[in-house]
Amino acid sequence: MFYSLQGEGARAGRAAVFCRFSKCNLWNGREDSRADAICDFCDTDIVGTDGQNGGTFANEEELSKAIYEMWPSADQNGRSEPYVIFTGGEPLLQLDKALIDKMHSLGFEVAIETNGTLEAPEGIDWICISPKADATLKLTRANELKLVFPQELAKPEQFEAFDCEYFFLSPKANPLEQSKQDSVKQFNTQLALDYCLANPQWRLTLQTHKILNID
């Protein structure tokens, strides 16, 4: 868990507490199996619970308390709505209505970033779907759809009829390249830019948190 600015999509620049769940249903997170994964371009450590402010929590009370304590105390005066983003891994493997309700009771707006292959519990305020390869989607309605681009088995036109407010292309990076001189990402950024210009339903989103070198 960490407190930072949302770096992508329609809410880029907004302060949020990020709660990153371990485990995903499209890759086990181990490098020796990356080539066989449905999502073989994942750039996130989803193995274990020893990440930043990580750990295991017995119930929604414990986890919601930890999230609440990360929101700046100086802002607990009603001027802005506290915001939590559940991500992963795949958050819908673990996120349930009890935790959503608890976060609401603490005044938080609740968002998720999901691959869309699992049903979502009721009460989530903002849903971002990020389709991966040919994985079957259960969610076709969301606030935004963010497609890592390009993907041979997940082309933008496959999702244009989804019930979403925003459609974004996020240039695919080399997951093993940590420098800002990622030639794969640079090439794919131009591809995404050209696609958005030719298909204005789609918008370009960049990982500004990585550009700014923040969490």
Mean pLDDT score of the chain, rounded to an integer?
93
pLDDT in tens, 142-169: 999 999 999 999 999 999 999 999 999 9
Question: Domain locations in the chain?
Answer: 2-211
Give the DSSP letter string of the chain.
-EEEE--SGGGTT-EEEEEE----SS--S-GGGGGG-SSTT--S--SSS-STT----SSHHHHHHHHHHHS-GGGTTTTS--EEEEESS-GGGT--HHHHHHHHHTT-EEEEEE-S-SPPPTT-SEEEE---TTPPPS--EEEEEEEEE--TT--GGGSTTSEEEEEEEEE---TT--SS--HHHHHHHHHHHHHHHH-TTSEE---HHHHTT--
> What is the CATH topology of the domain spanning 2-211?
TIM Barrel (3.20.20)
Structural contact between residues 1 and 52, judged by C-beta atoms closer than 8 angstroms: yes
pLDDT in tens, 49-66: 777 888 899 999 999 999
pTM score > 0.95 for this model?
no
pLDDT in tens, 91-138: 999 999 999 999 999 999 999 999 999 999 999 999 999 999 999 999
Hey, CA dihedral for 161, 163, 43, 10, is it positive or negative?
A: positive
Which residues form the catalytic set? 18, 24, 39, 42-44, 113, 209
